[in-house]
C-alpha cells in the first residue's frame, strides 16, 4: 500500500485479512450464474438447518453449518492460489457438496436411494481427475521445471491424483469408524462368506458358509436376513467407481490433448486456469477450444522449456539466466508483485 505522501508501507495483518475476505466476496459475485446457484443452495441449507434444529437433530445442524463453510472453499482457493475456476466446475462442486452433505447425510439419501453413494464417488473421481489434469498443465508450463510433460504423462498424473484423493478419503472414513464409531463405511448384508477364522479345523484354508439367512449377536437375532459385512464391500465399491470416474476423465483429457474438438470442449469447461482479466479469460478459453493442442499459455514467449530457445537450440547458462529474469513467472497463477 501507499501513503498519501507517496511513501510505501506494509499492510498490517488486519488489513491483509480484510483485503482477503473482500476478494473472496468479490469472487462469489464474479460469475452471475454461479452466484445464483450459490445463493439458492445457501437458502436451502439454512432452511434445512432450521428444520433440523426444531426437530432436535443437533448433529444435522452441525452438518448444515459445515456445508455453509464448504460452499466458500472454492472461492477461497481461487483467491489464495490466484486461479480461476470455470463456471461449470464451480457449479458442479457446489451441487456435489449439497448432494453429499444435505441430501446424503441430513436427508438420509445414502440409505433411502440405492447407489447414491456410488454416484457421488464416481463424480468425485471425475472432478478430481479434472483438477489433477489442471495441476499437470500448470506444472508443464512452470519455468522452474526443467522438462516438458508428454500428453501421456499429463493423463497419468491426472488419473493418479484422482485415485490418491479417493484412497485418502477411504482412510478418513476408516479412521472415523475406528475412533469415533461413525459407521461411514456402510455395512452390506451378504449371504455367503469365506473366512479362515471360521474354519473349525484351525488351518490356513478359507471356510465357506453359504445361504446365510440370519445373524445373531450374543444370542439375539438381528433380523437383517443375512451376514453383515463391516464396510469392506462398501470401500472397494467406492474405490472402483472412483477408478471409473478418473479413467473417464483421463480418456477425455487424452483425446483433448490430441486435438479432438468435442473432448477439448469438455476439458476446457473443467480446467482451472491462471487468474486474468475477464475479456482475456474468455478469449483464452475460446483459444483452448480452437487450438490444436490443449496447453497452458506460454508466458515466456518461447517453447516453455527451460534451457532451450524458441527454435529448440541449446542456450548458454548466461542466456538462460537472462531469459528467466525477463520472464514474468509461472503460468500456475502465482500472484504478481505490485509496486
Please say whether the beta carbons of 263 and 252 come within 8 A.
yes
pLDDT in tens, 7-19: 566 788 888 888 8
Burial of 225 (0-12, 13-18, 19+ CB in 10 A): exposed
Tell me which of 32 and 328 has the higher pLDDT. Answer: 32
Mean per-residue pLDDT for 155-168?
97
Mean per-residue pLDDT for 152-173?
96
What pLDDT is attached to residue 48? 97
Strands (E), the chain: 83-84, 188-190, 193-195, 207-209, 216-217, 220-221, 227-229, 273-274
Q: How confident is the model at residue 176 (pLDDT cuts 50, 70, 90)?
A: very high
Q: In angstroms, rounded to a whole number, what is the distance separating the alpha carbons of residues 260 and 254?
A: 9
Mean per-residue pLDDT for 60-76?
95
- Return the percentage of the chain with pLDDT > 70, whole number: 79
List helix spans (H) across 56-187: 58-71, 73-81, 87-98, 109-112, 116-141, 151-180
Whether the CA torsion 235, 240, 241, 242 is positive or negative: it is: positive
Whether the CA torsion 192, 198, 201, 206 is positive or negative: it is: positive
Mean per-residue pLDDT for 184-208?
92
Lowest-confidence region among 110-119, 219-228, 286-295, 305-314: 305-314
Q: In angstroms, what is the C-alpha Rg of the chain?
A: 26
* Mean predicted lDDT score pLDDT of the chain: 82
What residue ranges do the domains of the chain occupy? 11-113, 114-183+231-334, 188-229
Mean per-residue pLDDT for 266-283?
73
Q: Is the pLDDT of residue 174 over 90?
A: yes
Q: In angstroms, rounded to a whole number, what is the distance separating the alpha carbons of residues 287 and 291?
A: 6
Q: Which helix (H) or strand (E) holds 55?
A: helix 32-55
Please say whether the beta carbons of 63 and 115 come within 8 A.
no
Lowest-confidence region among 81-85, 119-123, 142-146, 308-312: 308-312
Q: How confident is the model at residue 327 (pLDDT cuts 50, 70, 90)?
A: very low
Amino acid at each position: 500500500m501507499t501513503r498519501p505522501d507517496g511513501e510505501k508501507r506494509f499492510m498490517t495483518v488486519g488489513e491483509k485479512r480484510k483485503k482477503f475476505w473482500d476478494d473472496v466476496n468479490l469472487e462469489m459475485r464474479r460469475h452471475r450464474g454461479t452466484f445464483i446457484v450459490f445463493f439458492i443452495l445457501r437458502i436451502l441449507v439454512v432452511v434445512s438447518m432450521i428444520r433440523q434444529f426444531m426437530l432436535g437433530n443437533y448433529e444435522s445442524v452441525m452438518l448444515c453449518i459445515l456445508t455453509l463453510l464448504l460452499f466458500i472453499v472454492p472461492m477461497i482457493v481461487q483467491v489464495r492460489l490466484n486461479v480461476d475456476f470455470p463456471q461449470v466446475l464451480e457449479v458442479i462442486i457446489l451441487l456435489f457438496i449439497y448432494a453429499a452433505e444435505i441430501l446424503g447425510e441430513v436427508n438420509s439419501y445414502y440409505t433411502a436411494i440405492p447407489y447414491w453413494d456410488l454416484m457421488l464417488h464416481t463424480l468425485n473421481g471425475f472432478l478430481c481427475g479434472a483438477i489433477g489434469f489442471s495441476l499437470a498443465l500448470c506444472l508443464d508450463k512452470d519455468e522452474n521445471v526443467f522438462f516438458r510433460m508428454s500428453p501421456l504423462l499429463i493423463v497419468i498424473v491426472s488419473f493418479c491424483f484422482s485415485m490418491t484423493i479417493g484412497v485418502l478419503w477411504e482412510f478418513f472414513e476408516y479412521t472415523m469408524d475406528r475412533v469415533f464409531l461413525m459407521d461411514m463405511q456402510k455395512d452390506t448384508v451378504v449371504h455367503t462368506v469365506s473366512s479362515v477364522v471360521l474354519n473349525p479345523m484351525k488351518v490356513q484354508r478359507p471356510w465357506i458358509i453359504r445361504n446365510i439367512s440370519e445373524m445373531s449377536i450374543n444370542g439375539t437375532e438381528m433380523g437383517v436376513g443375512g451376514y453383515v459385512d463391516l464396510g469392506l464391500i462398501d470401500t472397494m465399491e467406492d474405490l472402483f467407481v472412483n477408478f471409473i470416474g478418473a479413467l473417464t476423465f483421463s480418456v477425455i483429457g487424452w483425446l483433448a490433448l490430441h486435438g479432438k474438438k468435442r473432448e477439448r470442449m469438455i476439458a476446457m469447461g473443467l480446467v482451472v486456469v491462471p487468474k486474468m482479466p475477464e475479456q482475456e479469460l474468455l478469449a483464452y478459453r475460446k483459444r483452448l477450444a480452437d487450438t490444436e493442442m490443449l496447453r497452458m499459455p506460454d508466458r515466456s514467449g518461447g517453447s516453455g522449456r527451460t534451457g532451450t530457445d524458441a527454435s529448440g537450440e541449446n542456450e548458454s547458462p548466461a542466456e538462460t539466466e537472462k531469459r528467466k529474469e525477463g520472464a514474468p513467472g509461472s503460468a500456475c497463477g502465482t500472484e504478481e508483485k505490485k509496486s
